[in-house]
A and B are shown apart, each in its own frame.
Chain A
């Protein structure tokens, strides 16, 4: 009898085996925690599972304790210093006032839902009247001011749309520039000149061109949406383009030689060889692009009054109410947190697609 009879295992050994399995799982999950920015969860779980508490305690302190302490220190510093700066809109708000406005914005969103219900009641009345006069009923979207959440959603949609167009343009161009030194020489000066241009300079041009070209007023997209999205595209194109061409041009020479020996067609070469090995750099480019796009979008929305978080900030600045500064700060934190989440999202996608070391 070579196999171990399960019954013969002592309860202690069984527990040990379970523990090992548990640790394997925790270690496997650790990769995902890292991606999601929750790396502090690993030592916490390990400690909970009974691993050397002292060693894990140090890890927890480093990964969880220090950041929390830093945040507390930041909040304290902010809370003490802010009230000492007097502006024409009152003192700079501290963390408490900002939190208060975050809650107020949430309540405001609920009020807006109520007013939407009122709107629908009125439309129903209108339709009764229309019916009495023998007309067709009408269905129309709510026309009231968007809530804070709706504005966040608009911004996210816009940035992804602009980013998508940018990627569709940048990746093929980048592959071209990476594969052919001639194409690279042609594209390089254009990239160098346009890369540093600010969104604020693009916006007037984009606005004029969109108004001239996109004449319909009831098309699929609103003009303001296109203006912001195209501005995002123009600014977020470059990191992807540069990184893709860099990734493509730095493929292993041996691989290129193999492709020559096998007489691969260009298409096969690109899909089987170039893309897989350039993927990590392409993703790095995409991550940078999305980050740039998000920053640019807020500026574009502020300047052009296009719906979204940027318009929210500008409106509050113009309102000049005593709550304006605190509300702008709520927006600043929202923008920061969403930017962080977008980056994490891209990082997660990158880890799914690439197997080599993460950059």
Chain B
């Protein structure tokens, strides 16, 4: 309660110090409803609301938690929601017509990293002997999925499927879990146009569970592990029902995460409103990271309110304040576990979009081989750095952001990720999607398609 009162005072000052001089945009629509899923990476939305950044732009925003990613996506498409905290794969998949078809764009990327893979206590017991220990007895990180291989074999011998949960067919979590499994030599299974279970030829069977239900589903024994965003990995540790084995930061340093998605129609009809939204969100991201994460505790208090994430503050604090607890007491520093603004986290890079598209192709969600040009074109129609930079320019002019913090001259492609930053040692260059696909040992290659239950070509 005291923290809340203190925070209220802080919010007041934030509101009062807002720039009275800044020119207000001529808004086409000023009452907006945004959807989100109960995850810590929705923080920019909560902060933009609570710190009054939306109101500074003249936007009256209502934030509404959604039951699952499907409901959220449908809400944006049918107009019940004006925009939402989305999985990066959702705007891309909707635009290319995988799942529900609609042209959704993203002018703002919400964060980097923030996910983890957790296994049940039983599986952890079985995995532990395969993982080398450090001098103090704690396991050596990062843990490869190869430590899981004997466990999966044992399950197969017993005639039991090894099930794992992810949050949505086109979620980062699906691709990250698959990436980790494949890097350790396990087949996560393929999609085909007539079998969208994603379990064709699988050693490990992945299925969809909404994020907040992951711990309960794991406890019930329906799944033996999962990949999800925070706080649902730390929740498993606190409740003693599972052990996180790896974070996505350890799999791929500073990988792109959620995006803010709106329909193209909304952006076309409401250009100024769109810019105003992006301005408010950029300010929130700056606030979350400024002064070396100084505001994170305040953000944790915000997120722990029932209307946002609602989990206990101490659970949320773990990942938000720079460390992660693997087993109870095994706390390790991961200062960049959640990045909201540093490293141009909010800029919608085409190369990030292309990575998601390569993973959709890799696992058969994109059934046929596409040329590199196709990847570039899809990325350009969904990721909109042009809108982002216009909003950033307005913020710099208002004196609310530093000119130096934005990549004005970028062509939308990040420098290739070096092999050392990725768990399987395979470099990623967004400029050469097909070459990248060829370099991955497990996954569809040029010309291959999945027909029936097998890979052909």
**Which residues of A line the B interface, CB within 8 A?**
88-89, 107-108, 111, 114-115, 118-119, 121-123, 125-126, 128-130, 132-133, 135, 138, 140-141, 143, 145, 211, 217, 223-224, 303-305, 314-322, 324, 327
Contact = CB atoms under 8 A, between A and B. Distances in A.
B306 interface: yes
A319 B219 CA distance: 16
A143 B23 CA distance: 23
A108 B80 CA distance: 28
Interface stretch (B117-125, B269-277, B308-316): B308-316
Given A318-B213, A322-B312, 17 more contacts: A89-B239, A107-B1, A118-B8, A118-B12, A122-B52, A125-B20, A130-B58, A133-B23, A133-B24, A138-B60, A141-B60, A224-B80, A305-B66, A317-B212, A320-B216, A321-B312, A324-B310
Contacts of A320: 212, 215-216, 235, 310-311
A90 to B, nearest CB: 8
A50 to B, nearest CB: 51
11 contacts: A118-B8, A125-B15, A126-B56, A138-B58, A143-B61, A315-B306, A316-B306, A319-B38, A319-B306, A320-B216, A321-B312
B30 A138 contact: yes
A118 B311 contact: no
Interface string B192-220: 00000000000000000000110110010
B18 to A, nearest CB: 7
A316 B310 contact: yes
Given A88-B216, A122-B15, A126-B58, A145 B8 contact: no
B310 A145 contact: no
Nearest to A127: B58
B212 A318 contact: yes
Contact of B310 (A107, A140, A315): A315
A88 B62 CA distance: 31
Contact of B20 (A89, A128, A138): A128
B78 interface: yes
Interface of B: 1, 4, 8, 11-12, 15-16, 18, 20, 22-24, 30-31, 38, 49, 52, 55-56, 58, 60-67, 71, 78-80, 212-213, 215-216, 219, 235, 239, 241, 304-307, 309-312
Contact of A126 (B55, B79, B305): B55
Contacts of B71: 305
A62 B260 CA distance: 63
B30 to A, nearest CB: 7
Contacts of A317: 212
A113 B79 CA distance: 29
A111 B307 CA distance: 13
A321 B304 CA distance: 9
A212 B23 CA distance: 39
Contacts of A321: 304, 306, 310-312
Contacts of B79: 217
A53 B58 CA distance: 70
A227 B20 CA distance: 42
Contact of A111 (B4, B216, B241, B310): B4
Nearest to B54: A143
B80 A143 contact: no
Given A88-B239, A115-B8, A126-B58, A211 B52 contact: no
A320 B38 CA distance: 10
Contacts of B15: 118, 121-122, 125
User: 6 shortest A-B CB distances, which residue pairs?
Assistant: A319-B310, A145-B307, A318-B212, A88-B239, A140-B60, A143-B62
A111 B216 CA distance: 31
Contacts of A316: 306, 310
A130 B22 CA distance: 10
Q: Which of A114, A115, A129, A319 has the most CB of B within 10 A?
A: A319
B18 A125 contact: yes
Contact of A318 (B4, B20, B55, B310): B310
Contacts of B219: 88
Contacts of A125: 15-16, 18, 20
Contacts of B60: 138, 140-141, 143
Contacts of A126: 55-56, 58
A88 B306 CA distance: 18
A314 B8 CA distance: 27
B55 A122 contact: yes
A140 B307 contact: no
B65 A315 contact: yes
Nearest to B75: A305
B93 to A, nearest CB: 21
Contacts of B62: 143
A135 B16 CA distance: 21
A143 B34 CA distance: 11
A209 B12 CA distance: 44
A78 to B, nearest CB: 23
Contacts of A129: 20, 22, 24
A1 to B, nearest CB: 78
Contacts of A107: 1
Which of A140, A141, A318 has most B Cβ within 10 Å? A318
Contacts of B11: 118
A202 B67 CA distance: 18
Nearest to B212: A318
A135 B58 CA distance: 12
B408 to A, nearest CB: 28
A130 B24 CA distance: 8
A308 to B, nearest CB: 13
Contacts of B215: 88, 320
B208 to A, nearest CB: 16
| Most B CB within 10 A of own CB, among A108, A122, A316, A322 | A122
A319 B80 CA distance: 23
A319 to B, nearest CB: 3
B4 A223 contact: no
A82 B443 CA distance: 51
B302 to A, nearest CB: 12
Nearest to A125: B15
A319 B311 contact: yes
Contacts of B213: 318
Contacts of B31: 140, 143
B272 to A, nearest CB: 13
B121 to A, nearest CB: 12
B267 to A, nearest CB: 17
A211 B8 contact: no
Contacts of B65: 305, 315, 318
B8 A318 contact: no
Contacts of A118: 8, 11-12, 15
A167 B18 CA distance: 53
B277 to A, nearest CB: 14
Contacts of A217: 79-80
Nearest to A317: B212
Contacts of B38: 318-319
A120 B101 CA distance: 40
Contacts of A303: 67
A342 B9 CA distance: 42
Nearest to A302: B67
Contact of B309 (A138, A304, A305, A319): A319
B30 A88 contact: no
B212 A319 contact: yes
